[in-house]
Structure 1
Amino acid sequence: MTTNQEPTLSFEQAMEKLEQIVTQLENGDVPLEKAIELFQEGMKLSQLCGQKLEQVERKIEVLLEDEGSLTKKPFNPDGEKGEAR
C-alpha cells in the first residue's frame, strides 16, 4: 500500500479502504507492527476524507452565496432534525 496514491483517491474509495482497515483492526488477528501501520494509514485516510468533506462544504456555501437571495449558513446535517421540535 503506497501512501503517495492516497491524495488521488475519491472520497468513496478512501472510505472503503478505511472501513477495511477498521475491520482488520477490530478482528485483532494482525501482528502489532502491522496494526500500527494500519492505524497510521487509517489516520491518513481519515484526514483525507475530512479534507474532502470540507471542500464540498465550501463549494456548497459558495453556491448558496451565488444565488443572492439565499444566505450563507454553516453546514450542520443534524441541525434541522433538532430544530423540528
Structure 2
Amino acid sequence: MDEGTAAPAKAGQDITGMSFEQALSALEGIVQQLERGDVPLDQSINLYERGEALRAACQQRLDAAQARIERIVTAADGRAVGTQPFDAEG
C-alpha cells in the first residue's frame, strides 16, 4: 500500500486532536492525492476542504508558537528592553 492510499484512513481524525506534525503529515498526504489527479471530483472537493482545515490549524499553531516565543518586553517609549519567558503572563 503506498502513502497516498493510507491517507484516507486518517481523513476522519479530529484535527483538534492532532499534533502539528500529524496535521502537517495529513496535509502533505492530501496534496499528494490531489496532485496525482486520479481522485473523483466529489472526493477532490472533500479532500480540498479537509486540506484547508488542516492548513488553518497548522497556521494557528505556528502563530501561537511564534507569539509565545517572541514575547518581547518593551519600555513605555516602545524600545525593546528585554524578553519575557514565553509562558509568563502579561
TM surpasses 0.5 = yes
Q: Does 1:42 align with 2:21?
A: no
- Give the superposition deviation at 1:8: 1.3
> Is the radius of gyration larger for structure 1 or structure 2?
2
* Structure with the larger helix share: 1
User: What TM-score do you get using the length of structure 1 for normalisation?
Assistant: 0.71
Moved over 4 A (4+): none
Alignment RMSD, CA only? 2.1
Would you tell me which structure has more strand in proportion to its own residues? 2
* Equivalent position of 1:55 in the other structure: 64
- Mind listing any 5+ residue stretches in structure 2 that lack a counterpart? 1-10, 74-79, 85-90
The alignment covers a number of residue pairs equal to: 68
Secondary structure, in 3 states, of the residue corresponding to 2:82?
coil
Within the candidate set 28, 33, 38, 1:29 is matched to 38
Report 1 or 2 for greater relative contact order, CA contacts < 8 Å, sequence distance ≥ 6.
1
Counterpart code for 2:15: E
Deviations 1:12-61 (A, max 9, x none): 10000000000000000000000000000000000000000011011112
Gaps in structure 1 of 5+ consecutive residues: 73-85
